[in-house]
Structure 1
Amino acid sequence: MVRISLFSIALLFFGAALTSCAGEKKDRAPQSGTIAAYNLKVDRSKLGKTLNLFIYPDYLDPQLVKKFEEVYGVEVVIDYYDNNEAMLAKLQAGGIGQYDVIVPTDYAVTVMRRQNLLQPLDKANIPNLKNLNPLFASLPFDPDNQYTVCYQWGTMGLGVRSDLLDPANRDLNTWKIVFDPEYSPGPFTMLDAQRETIAAALIYLGYSVNTVDEGELQAAQELLTAQRKRVLAYTGTSTARELLVSGDAVVIHNYNGDILMGQSEAPAIRYLLPREGSIIWTDNLAIPAGAPNQYTGEVFINFLLDAENGAILSNFTHYATPNAASLPYLDEKIRNNPDIYPPEEVIRKLQFIEDIGEKVKLYDRVWTRVKAGGN
């Protein structure tokens, strides 16, 4: 049986806060005084020369990077990954000690805590934690923000080029568009992300995205294997968006913000949350165990939690902010967009991917066989 999480239920009430904020203008007094007072307390002697960041592509506004470098005199060095599995694999294979800040998704945080891959945060260095909406201030996978701070949240669905799809495919708001051969929308891509892509198949079949039932996972494997010969490519998030913008793909499986970013170049792009349901997620700022510049990482996290900086971030990424103080500063097209802040009836159909411990080997096996063509 598919169950909505308590956190998803709580998100229903987040919309009320957003609605109350929708009429507010950006004429509030800037909070620069708060960040300026914090900056006076920063111990410059403890700042590293560099901040080493490991993050998804196109997930941080370059102007924020430049601003941080100018304010603190620290060079931001960025390395990228396309999915949580790749991020975990690099850290597990000796990447510990390379990075100061990483951005794992909710279920990956649980894995990393269990494997002692995260460094506890010194919250005295992150006073802007107070800006978080209480809903995001103590998430189930990390009560009391001992290891993480929520960065962005969003959903997974389908991006379509409405100007390039066959007019006969009028019913687009369904996973059938990528799983039912009769739909044949044209070239389409799927995420090269194990849990997320298996989750899409499980949702289409009516199963939980966290099932450990081998029969249900076998059914998902068969569905994905049958689909594989029709998939243009398994891609990362930014590559998928580029293919949709260029028209080389007419449908992509991706996250809402990455799809919506493409609308500036191709206005006919639409984001769809399939009616069968989908995934909701949070990404989180964390400091890996052995980070060479933990203090600098905590200063960086505090910088991103500033009210205006948080709005700059979400205006760039097109993802929802967990930062309550940032809401009045968001562009209206972001704050009032149901593709970014879904309505109640949509949230009720969304599931979180959860850490399933050793049972993840079942998913490893399914994914390996799908990528190998079912063998």
Structure 2
Amino acid sequence: MRSLETLLQTGRWSGLWMLAVLLPQLACADTLRVLSWPGYADADLVRAFEARTSSQVNITYIDSDDALWERVQRNNGQDFDVFAVNTAELQRYVRALLVAPIDIAQIPNTARQLPRFRQLERISGLVHQGQLFGVPYTYAEMGLIYDRQKVKTPPTSIAALWDPQYRGKVLLYNGSTHNFSLTAQSMGISNPFQLASKQWPAVVNQLIGLRRNALGFYTQPDESVALFRQKGATLMLANYGSQQLQLLRAAGADVGYAIPKEGTLAWLDTWAITRQAKNTALAHAWINYLLEAAPSQALEMRQGLANTVNEPSQLRPTDRLVWLQPVEDSARRQQLWERIYSGDRAAKVLAP
């Protein structure tokens, strides 16, 4: 019997060999390359999409905005077709020409979304020069979680975080950008994301006051649950909103949830399509599919995250969500917050 190598040296077999090599590639011609946060596309949902579209979905997961930016811009967006990004971050992808306009006509399930997510022009960062660059998918509002045994009257204002009766009983998120925005919002500053030079001293003083009420700080949802229960917190700024509420209740905590009358800061994640996408039709189909009932319910039931199709139980239609926007100077906010976090006084915090 002649060896395979010998057969390949004859013109008779070379064509069959090349076909065998190319067939797997041809079979996977409709491949969608997705860059996603964990929990946004569970395996069973991906399989359902693949079966429906006769495609293959390759998912890469990231865990930070910095990692997302690095992966997308590494090869000018050529490595992925569609990715999940929040509205505050989306704007720099638009400026860098890394994302393509989205054809809303190819995503008919947007008609199923709640009114606040169909009013695209009212959500900062989505529309640029009349073109849409992101479709809302999931979000979390930063409400107030409180111990129902210790707080008999639910808080109605952000000011509760500064209430002297809660000195040393408030659990806070360890994040410079959000804490400055929250503080500016509590002071009635119209744009808490763009502080003017003259506003910094007052905001710093107010944030130092919040620091005095702190029982502790957290960065991740699971960590906040452990600290809330172990340290006996009375009130917590819920940076992850309903996700933390679900985790605490699952752990047996008797907690309530309140949305401040001033409105609540909220992050909104969208799906965006890269300018270098190889199959934009499949990318549009992916976004459309994830707005269906099953994927939307999975976000809520499995992840404790809100979807854009159903009004979550902890929110009322009248509750005002203040979507995050890019801030004036993230580096300065971080530098000042580190000093505040360390317990420095205002004069030292603001020192050059």
TM-score (norm 1): 0.65
Matched, 1:367 2:349: no
Residue 201 of structure 1, aligned match among 171, 176, 183: 183
CA–CA distance in structure 2, aligned partners of residues 307 and 249 of structure 1: 38
CA–CA distance in structure 1, aligned partners of residues 113 and 152 of structure 2: 42
Contact 2:299/2:306, CA 8 A, preserved across alignment: no
Relative contact order, higher structure (CA 8 A, sep 6+): 1
SS at match of 2:141: strand
Aligned-partner residue type, residue 331 of structure 2: D
CA–CA distance in structure 2, aligned partners of residues 68 and 247 of structure 1: 42
Identical pairs, percent? 20
Q: CA separation of 1:206/1:51 partners in 2, compared to 1, >3 Å: closer, same or farther?
A: same
SS at match of 1:104: strand
Matched, 1:261 2:242: no
- Displacement after TM superposition at 1:201 (Å): 0.9
Matched, 1:102 2:83: yes
Q: CA separation of 1:261/1:212 partners in 2, compared to 1, >3 Å: closer, same or farther?
A: same
Residue 217 of structure 1, aligned match among 191, 200, 203: 200
Contact 1:52/1:77, CA 8 A, preserved across alignment: yes
Alignment of 1:1-375 (within 5 A): 46-48=29-31, 51-55=33-37, 57-60=38-41, 63-68=44-49, 71=52, 72=54, 74-82=56-64, 84=65, 87-88=68-69, 91=72, 96-121=77-102, 126-133=107-114, 136-137=117-118, 139-140=120-121, 141-143=125-127, 146-163=132-149, 167=150, 172-180=155-163, 182-186=165-169, 188-192=171-175, 194=177, 196-208=178-190, 209-225=192-208, 227-228=210-211, 230=214, 232-236=216-220, 238-243=221-226, 247=230, 250=233, 251-262=236-247, 263-291=249-277, 294=280, 296-323=282-309, 327=310, 335=311, 337=313, 339-340=314-315, 342-344=316-318, 346-347=319-320, 350-355=321-326, 360-361=328-329, 363-373=330-340, 374=349
Contact 1:240/1:252, CA 8 A, preserved across alignment: no
Q: CA separation of 1:241/1:46 partners in 2, compared to 1, >3 Å: closer, same or farther?
A: farther
Contact 1:203/1:278, CA 8 A, preserved across alignment: no
Aligned-partner residue type, residue 369 of structure 1: L
SS at match of 1:206: coil
- Displacement after TM superposition at 1:355 (Å): 4.2
1:184-203 alpha-carbon deviations (Å, 9 max, x no partner): 25361315362x32221112
- Displacement after TM superposition at 1:268 (Å): 1.6
CA–CA distance in structure 2, aligned partners of residues 292 and 249 of structure 1: 52
CA–CA distance in structure 2, aligned partners of residues 283 and 275 of structure 1: 23
Q: CA separation of 1:201/1:88 partners in 2, compared to 1, >3 Å: closer, same or farther?
A: farther
CA–CA distance in structure 2, aligned partners of residues 219 and 89 of structure 1: 36
Q: CA separation of 1:128/1:109 partners in 2, compared to 1, >3 Å: closer, same or farther?
A: same
CA–CA distance in structure 2, aligned partners of residues 203 and 134 of structure 1: 25
- Aligned pairs, how many? 306
Contact 1:245/1:265, CA 8 A, preserved across alignment: no
Contact 2:154/2:258, CA 8 A, preserved across alignment: no
Contact 1:69/1:76, CA 8 A, preserved across alignment: no
CA–CA distance in structure 1, aligned partners of residues 67 and 163 of structure 2: 29
**Structure number with larger C-alpha Rg:** 2
SS at match of 1:287: strand
SS at match of 1:305: coil
CA–CA distance in structure 2, aligned partners of residues 125 and 200 of structure 1: 37
SS at match of 2:35: strand
Contact 1:160/1:244, CA 8 A, preserved across alignment: no
CA–CA distance in structure 1, aligned partners of residues 76 and 162 of structure 2: 37
1:238-283 alpha-carbon deviations (Å, 9 max, x no partner): 3455436754573243133212321233352322223443224532
Q: CA separation of 1:240/1:169 partners in 2, compared to 1, >3 Å: closer, same or farther?
A: farther
**What are structure 1's unaligned runs of at least 5 residues?**
1-42, 328-334
With 171-180 and 270-279 compared, the bigger mean Cα shift is at 171-180
Tell me how large the CA RMSD over aligned residues is. Answer: 3.8
Contact 1:221/1:367, CA 8 A, preserved across alignment: no
SS at match of 1:81: coil
1:194-216 alpha-carbon deviations (Å, 9 max, x no partner): 2x322211122221323432222
